[in-house]
Structure 1
Amino acid sequence: MAGLKPFIALVVILTAIGGKWVGAQVNHVAGGDRGWNPSSEVGSSSSGRIFRVGDKIWFTYSATRESIVELKSREEFESCEVNNPIRMYTHGFDGVSLREEGIHYFASGNPESCRKGLKLHVEVQPQHEIQAVAISEAMAAGPTTPSASAHHDGLSYVLFVGSLLCFMGL
């Protein structure tokens, strides 16, 4: 029976992750604690962050004064040409799912606010592919607590649940 537990854990983990890296969806807040406004230095709040396919950017702003537009090109972004957006967000609290790799351009729908720096471009990286080595190392380590890195949270949770099921005899 002892040899069966690691096998069950491996099956649970592989089933749960489906062969792909299961990073918890990372939620990024544009502008940090201040939200989406000219005083928040929106661009600097995203510097150093890694955006991946499946992550979400949250925009909080005054819907009576602002809106968010997603632009097609760097030229539109730099010149604050916001009249022909790909998408427009107007609710005041919008979560934008990053579904595709590449550079995404967001700006205030108000050209004047955009020119004052209320704009954000993010480079979205692909999701990680999980490697068999990572699974075997994680299984050898046993149950874990979520790590500091948000991209490891999902795998840690799956490992914890899989291990718990094995130790319960399921």
Structure 2
Amino acid sequence: MTGFLYSAAQENHIVELRSKEALESCDVSNPIRMYTDGIDNVMLDGEGPRYFASSTVDGCKSGLKLHVDVLPQIPKPIKAQSTADMVAAAPLPSGSARAVEATLLLWSCVVVAMVGYLVI
């Protein structure tokens, strides 16, 4: 899931377009979907290209557009654990848990920054 944050009060919205050609030419006249709340979460389900842009031609032509390639999810292999492995597994020290939380926070900021240029 990804998100868009923009000013809905200014009548600027985000549209999802049907094709790369529509995105490149900023043809926002026939979108698949329009996001109008100002804070929208977009499910990136399925795989393949997705095209998002400002709902205004001027905004789109100014670069407020995004092409996203949704890749297939790779299933994680299921590893059988023996009872001995489960008993031997120790919890992470609090410093390691904090490092994991900090890494997740950093990646969240990177995703927001990548999507942030669509802020209108």
TM-score, normalised via structure 1 length: 0.48
**1:109 counterpart = 2:68:** no
Question: What percentage of residue pairs aligned between the two structures are identical?
Answer: 48
Where structure 2 has 5 or more consecutive residues not aligned to the other structure, the ranges are 106-120
Distance of 1:60 and 1:101 partners within structure 2: 23
Where structure 1 has 5 or more consecutive residues not aligned to the other structure, the ranges are 1-55, 151-170
Q: CA deviation at 1:99?
A: 1.2
Aligned to 1:58: 3
Aligned to 1:67: 13
- Give the CA RMSD over aligned residues: 2.4
Question: Which of 68, 71, 74 pairs up with 1:125?
Answer: 71
Aligned residues: 93
List 4+ stretches of structure 1 deviating above 6 A.
Answer: none
**1:80 counterpart = 2:26:** yes
**1:100 counterpart = 2:40:** no
Distance of 1:76 and 1:109 partners within structure 2: 12
TM-score, normalised via structure 2 length: 0.66
Query: Which of the pair has the greater relative contact order for Cα pairs under 8 Å at 6+ separation?
Result: 2
Distance of 1:61 and 1:124 partners within structure 2: 23
